[in-house]
Amino acid sequence: MIVAAFAIGLASDSPVHAGQRGDGNQKPSLAFKATPPVGFGPLKVRFTIDVRGGADDYADFYCASVEWDWADGTTSGSSEDCEPYEAGKSTIRRRFTADRTFREAGVFEVTFRLKQKSRVVASSKGTVRVLSGVNPDDF
């Protein structure tokens, strides 16, 4: 009886956690962080996106291109050359970073997107507040 319960426990489905491989259908989530989120301009901000949970071989996140919308009328992006996707072997990237200097005062809702071709597979947003600073050119 105890052996049967133990065998059932091993056979049951368990969620795939970060660091484990899965069948590719456990979708990870994105966590957005801006450091610092508030400051005087010009303000240099480091943006970090952490990919949390889900399968390490999640197909839609594998070799995805990156797009940053800086909420000031500009965007930037990047993509990588990758080997063809192989379930159980291909590994997704778990962290993305970018630095941006905001020169104008305002509130900026920055958007991060992971894309497969033109299709957005995941996105996350965060707000940066830039306060008016002293302009050295005024002196």
Q: Write the pLDDT tens digit of every residue in 6-63.
A: 222 223 233 334 444 444 468 999 999 999 999 999 999 999 999 999 999 999 999 9
Domain extents for the chain? 17-138
Contact 18, 95 (CB under 8 A): no
CATH of domain 17-138: 2.60.40.10
From 76, 117, 82, select the one nearest 96 (Cα to Cα): 76
State residue 56's pLDDT score.
Answer: 95
CA distances from 39 to 44, 117, 124, 136, 138 (A): 9, 35, 21, 17, 20
Closest CA to 56 of 13, 20, 14: 20
Q: State if pTM tops 0.85.
A: no
**How far apart are the C-alpha atoms of 129 and 106, rounded to whole Å?**
6
Q: How many CA atoms lie within 13 A of 75 on its CB side?
A: 9
Q: Which residues, 6+ apart, have CB-to-CB distance to 120 below 8 Å?
A: 113, 114
